[in-house]
């Protein structure tokens, strides 16, 4: 079963990429990892695709990050961590075409790998954002770095450190700059397509050059920060069995702000 659904409107030049595991809250399994990488690579060579919308199937979640059932063997050294999500974003595949994320429902944890490499984010009024890592004895490294590129430091720190106890509403995400527009329920994808259609109507070389210039403005700091992530995770994470115990005993209550 495919974990990713892709459609392209050849007339407008807009491709819509949908994380398609709604029964698992669009959690990212290893099949989806491979399909995302392949999709971004294909888009690099497809001149009919001039802008991309990235969204999640269903109305409960954009994505809840890495599927907890995914088995990723790790080397013993903290300097050789294998993070399967590190290369799932469009920029990691050198795709310098604009990508607009449309968020409905929950976006948490590993979802920030994708949101962090989107050019801007549109959310509907049901969207919430949170980072559960610390609650379960895991280091929020990649997620925090990606968020820090577009959100004030204090907001990132609060989200990362409060774990599952708090969720950031779509309105608050708009106020701090994580989200550029808040729509009515179920309208985020349509709003993103409208933006993508406008952008795709412009000369593509100018658009892609602008995307590349925007990302070059923060590339040095982002690259340096991400280079610290693997061994911080390897040194700071609890063993998987201890993480699972915390996950099973979690308090399901939370505050939305």
One digit per residue, the tens of pLDDT, for the chain of length 257 reads 689 999 999 999 999 999 999 999 999 999 999 999 999 999 999 999 999 999 999 999 999 999 988 887 777 777 788 888 999 999 999 999 999 999 999 999 999 999 999 999 999 999 999 999 999 999 999 999 999 999 999 999 999 999 999 999 999 999 999 999 999 999 999 999 999 999 999 999 999 999 999 999 988 898 999 989 988 998 899 988 999 999 988 888 999 99
- On whether residue 216 sits in a domain, the answer given is no
- On whether residue 101 sits in a domain, the answer given is yes
Amino acid 53: pLDDT: 98
- On whether residue 31 sits in a domain, the answer given is yes
- On whether residue 243 sits in a domain, the answer given is no
Q: Which domain holds residue 137?
A: 4-184
Indicate the pTM of the whole model. Answer: 0.94
Amino acid 43: pLDDT: 98
Amino acid 1: pLDDT: 65
Nearest Cα neighbor of 140 from 112, 98, 180 is 112
- On whether residue 242 sits in a domain, the answer given is no
- On whether residue 81 sits in a domain, the answer given is yes
- On whether residue 239 sits in a domain, the answer given is no
Amino acid 40: pLDDT: 98
- On whether residue 257 sits in a domain, the answer given is no
How far apart CA 67 and CA 56 sit, in angstroms, is 15
Distances (CA, A) of 176 to 74, 159, 171, 180, 192: 36, 12, 9, 9, 19
Sequence-distant (6+) residues with CB within 8 A of 108 are: 63, 64, 65, 128, 129, 130, 131, 132
8 A C-beta contact, residue 101 and residue 129: no
The CATH number for 176's domain is 3.90.226.10
Q: Domain total for the chain?
A: 1
8 A C-beta contact, residue 35 and residue 71: no
Q: Retrieve residue 88's tokens.
A: 């799932």
Sequence-distant (6+) residues with CB within 8 A of 93 are: 37, 40, 41, 44, 87
Q: ∠ at Cα 249 (66, 255), nearest 5°?
A: 75
Amino acid 74: pLDDT: 77
Handedness of CA 108, 111, 113, 115 (dihedral sign): negative
């Amino acid at each position: 079963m495919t974990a990713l659904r892709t459609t392209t409107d050849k007339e407008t030049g807009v491709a819509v990429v949908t994380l398609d595991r709604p029964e698992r809250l669009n959690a990212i399994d290893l099949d989806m990892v491979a399909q995302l990488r392949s999709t971004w690579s294909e888009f690099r060579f497809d001149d009919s695709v001039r802008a991309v919308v990235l969204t999640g199937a269903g109305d409960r979640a954009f994505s809840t990050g890495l599927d907890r059932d995914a088995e990723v063997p790790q080397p013993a050294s903290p300097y050789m961590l294998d993070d399967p999500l590190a290369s799932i974003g469009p920029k990691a595949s050198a795709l310098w075409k604009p990508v607009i994320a449309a968020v409905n429902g929950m976006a948490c944890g590993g979802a920030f790998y994708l949101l962090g490499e989107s050019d801007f984010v549109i959310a509907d009024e049901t969207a919430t954002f949170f980072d559960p890592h610390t609650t379960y004895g895991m280091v929020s490294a990649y997620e925090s770095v990606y968020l820090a590129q577009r959100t004030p430091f204090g907001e990132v720190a609060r989200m990362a450190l409060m774990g599952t106890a708090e969720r950031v509403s779509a309105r608050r995400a708009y106020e701090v700059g994580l989200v550029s527009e808040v729509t009515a329920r179920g309208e985020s994808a349509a709003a993103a397509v409208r933006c993508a259609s406008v952008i795709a109507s412009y000369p593509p070389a100018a658009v892609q050059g602008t995307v590349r210039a925007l990302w070059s403005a923060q590339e040095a700091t982002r690259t340096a920060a991400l280079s610290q992530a693997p061994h911080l995770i390897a040194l700071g994470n609890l063993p998987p069995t201890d993480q699972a115990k915390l996950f099973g005993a979690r308090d399901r209550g939370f505050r939305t702000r």
